[in-house]
Structure formats: C-alpha cells, structure tokens
Amino acid sequence: MAEVFEGTVQKWGNGLAIRLTRRVARASGIEEGTNVVIKADMGVLVVETKRRPMTLEERLAHFDPKRHGGEAMALRPVGKEVL
C-alpha cells in the first residue's frame, strides 16, 4: 500500500521546500543524495527517482556466467571467419 504523507510547503532560501518524513523516504527508496526528476502541472507534483547508469563494478556484481555466458551465436562459422 502506498505511504500517504501530508506536509506543508515552506520557504527555503529563495525557493520552496517540502520535507519528507523518514517513513515516506524509506517507502519511496529515497535517501540523501538520491537524484530525482520532478514533474509539475497545475495542482500536481510528481517526484520520481532518477536512475543513474550502473558502474562497471555494479554490472560485474550482477553478472551470472550461467545465465549470461556461452556462445553468442549457436550457428557454425560461415564465410571469412572460418580459418
């Protein structure tokens, strides 16, 4: 079930801010330093986490040789690649 949060928009410097409770931040997967995309329309504000590209280390950690390994082409060599 979605976490429901009611808050108040407050002045923060020259802009406005909404503080997230710990429960809302945890439920949405947002933590300090999370990049977000904010979409705004009259009366509607949507905040979504922005996925960053995975680092090489993260990609290698997800690599499963049984699932991703093996031949890329199951066919026999044809043409100039035959030695």
Give the CATH number for residue 39: 2.10.260.10
47, part of any domain? yes
- Domain containing residue 16: 10-72
Question: For residue 23, what are its two tokens?
Answer: 């429960």
40, part of any domain? yes
Q: Say if residues 12 and 2 touch (Cβ distance below 8 Å).
A: no
Q: What percent of the chain has pLDDT over 90?
A: 35
Q: Say if residues 27 and 12 touch (Cβ distance below 8 Å).
A: no
Query: What is the pTM for the complete model shown?
Result: 0.53
Averaged over 42-69, what is the pLDDT? 86
55, part of any domain? yes
How do residues 1-30 score in pLDDT, each as one tens digit? 677 888 899 999 999 999 999 988 988 889
Domain count for the chain, please give it.
1
Write down the pLDDT at residue 82. 62
What single-letter amino acid sits at 23? R
Mean pLDDT, the chain, as a whole number? 85
Distance CA(3)–CA(15), nearest Å, equals 26
